[in-house]
Chain A
Amino acid sequence: MLFARPHLLGLEGLTAEEIDFLLDSAESFKEVSEREIKKVPALRGRTVVNLFYEASTRTRTSFEIAAKRLSADTINLSASASSAAKGETLTDTARNLAAMRPDAIVVRHPSSGAPDLLARHVDCPIINAGDGAHEHPTQALLDLLTIRERKGRIAGLTVAIVGDVLHSRVARSNLFGLLTMGAKVRFVGPPTLVPPGFSELGAEIVWDLHEGLKDVDVVMMLRIQRERMNGRYFSSLDEYSRLYCLSADAVARARKDVIILHPGPMNRGVEISSTVADGPYSVIMDQVTNGVAVRMAVLYVLVGRRKAGAEQGEGAVPIALAEASPRRAATGE
């Protein structure tokens, strides 16, 4: 077993072997979605709860499709995050959910660390579907898979992550994943959104778009959250897009075989031009397809495994307990 962790809370701290294992698994799961009958019985009888404290269509749908293609039952819970006592509310919710005996909880929350808190209160696997400005590990895994598929490798590539790095959990997860896999990462954006201190995380900081894209293999665009563009971080949306919108001109600075990723939803004309988004370098639709495969792999690896103290199955490898009892006769005979 190459991925023995109980939860997937982030990519920070995962080893290259663990990430490779998840990506290799995801590659196998892609085939299931290409069948006429897009379903395997692997997680039959298991229950996956999607607990979303933030609006999300793509990620929630992707997790739901992934769980259903593994034959798990899914329940979607959208909760309001307006409660003042968020921590307490979440703990209470966790206890209530745990009482319903789910086999996994997929959680998205506006506060960083919410999935970790949940993991301490329930005894089923927790999968982080995005927490605050902290991490969004399955997004980064699907980005890594897309890059690996298109480039044949991750190590040695230079990846520019462009836009609102400050608020982006996608940027953080990708940074951890890419560095672990041996890529170089460049954060590109205005100083208000790419603070110089971020270089301590191991990324190169470049404030000019054209300079930042020079000779990169991969451009990873981040969504500009319009609500943040109210003058505190940048004077206007217009000015932002004039300086940082990914145009064909800007793309020309990158390597000839560059690929362009965007986690969606896109603000066309703000951070990315339609010419580029729909152009030949864009692998945005690959990302969506790979998202389902990555989430199938993560669910399967976390939910489909041995439970502590579980009975040894009939078809499983019979075991002898250390030196003690004589070999246990396999059941079923």
Chain B
Amino acid sequence: MSPNSRDDATRVVLDAAQIHRALARIAHEILERNKGVEGLGIVGIRSRGDLIARRLQQEIARLEGESVPIGAIDVTLYRDDISRGADHHLVQITEIPWEVDGRTVLLVDDVLFTGRTTRAALDALMDFGRPRAIQLAVLVDRGHRELPIRADYVGKNLPTQRAEDVLVRLSESDGLDEVAIRPAGPRIAAVPGTGVESKPASRDTRARRA
């Protein structure tokens, strides 16, 4: 059975309605702060940040009647742990089919944790041009930052222990909308040198750790 399977200790912290309300609020905040959608672009971090980005785009379109350009990035190639032994999975396609130069780019991710994914995403974005500004929106901020990075828009601040997993499920990829916390537990381990790889995070219910 996958290490991500549900057990009694897993605690749901956001249900579908709460996720929807949080994203609706963030959409309002984005519009308020940027005084509309002029010059705005949305980029979601794969995987799941891109799905949240699409929901925010739809919410903004509902409120303003205008469609903000959207893109998605995979930050795998910019991570700082490639050479430090992180397992890599399939690199997914990055697509930002519009000029980043001069735009305010809203970067979207599902969970903000150490800040390292955000750092990688900032580097990746800069390779596409020089945005006027970058703002960060996340569904969940779970703390434990390792870099001086903060979010501009937060769906929910979620105090966690470092070793806990925050599981984000979205209907587009996982069949339901839910954010849950799973306590730390023993998992299949990597034993260095034996060739046994740790088994983190299948793609469908992936615990975001960074």
List residues of chain A with CB under 8 Å of any chain B CB: 1-2, 4, 21, 24-25, 27-29, 31-32, 35-37, 39-46, 70, 297, 300-301, 304-323, 327, 330, 332-333
Q: Which of B83, B93, B187 contacts A31 (CB 8 A)?
A: B93
Main SS of the interface on chain B? loop
18 A/B residue pairs, CB under 8 Å, sorted by A: A1-B197, A4-B197, A28-B74, A28-B93, A31-B95, A300-B91, A305-B87, A309-B192, A312-B190, A315-B80, A316-B85, A316-B210, A317-B201, A320-B186, A322-B189, A330-B162, A330-B163, A332-B146
- B186: chain A residues at CB < 8 Å are 320, 323, 327
Give the residues from 69 to 99 in chain B that come closer than 8 angstroms, CB to CB, to chain A: 74, 76-95
Interface centre among A40, A304, A312, A316, by most chain B C-beta atoms within 10 angstroms, is A316
**Interface-located stretch among B15-23, B121-129, B134-142:** B121-129
Query: With contacts defined as CB atoms under 8 Å apart, how many contacts are there between chain A and chain B in the complex?
Result: 136
Query: Which positions in B face A, CB cutoff 8 Å?
Result: 74, 76-95, 114, 116-117, 123-124, 127-129, 144, 146, 162-163, 184, 186-187, 189-193, 195, 197-198, 200-201, 207, 209-210
For residue A15, give the distance in angstroms from its CB to the closest CB of chain B: 15
- Smallest Cβ distance from A31 to chain B, in angstroms? 5
Contact present for A28 and B198 (CB under 8 Å): no
Leading 5 A-B pairs by shortest Cβ distance: A313-B84, A313-B81, A310-B85, A317-B200, A40-B77
Known: A25-B91, A37-B127, A316-B81. A321 touches B201 (CB 8 A): no
Return B127 CB to nearest CB of chain A, in Å.
Answer: 5
Interface majority SS on A: helix, strand, loop or mixed? loop
B129 with A36: CB separation less than 8 A: yes
The residue that B90 contacts in the complex, of A2, A35, A316, with Cβ under 8 A, is A2
Select from chain A the residue with minimum beta-carbon distance to B80. Answer: A315
CA distance A4 to B190 in the complex (A): 14
**Residues of A close to B193: CB separation below 8 A:** 308-309
Cα distance A165–B31 in the bound complex, in angstroms: 64
B200 touching A35 by the CB < 8 A rule?
no
- Contacts A28-B74, A41-B123, A315-B114 given; indicate if A1 touches B84 (C-beta within 8 A): no
Give the chain B neighbours of A43 by CB distance below 8 A: 82
Task: Report yes or no: A317 in contact with B146, Cβ–Cβ below 8 A.
Answer: no
Docked pose: A314 CA to B94 CA in angstroms: 25
Q: How far is the CB of B119 from chain A (nearest CB, A)?
A: 9
The interface residues of chain B lying within 8 Å CB-to-CB of A319 are: 187, 189-190, 198
Q: Name the A residues within 8 Å of B192 (CB-CB).
A: 308-310
CB-CB under 8 A from A305, the residues of chain B are 87-88
Cα–Cα, bound, A1→B87 (Å): 7
A318, B3: Cα distance in complex, Å: 14
The distance in angstroms between the C-alpha atoms of A309 and B146, with both chains bound, is 24
Report how far A119 CA is from B207 CA in the complex, Å. Answer: 37
Query: What chain A residues lie within 8 Å of B190 (beta carbons)?
Result: 312, 319
Chain B residues with Cβ under 8 A from A306's Cβ? 85-87, 197
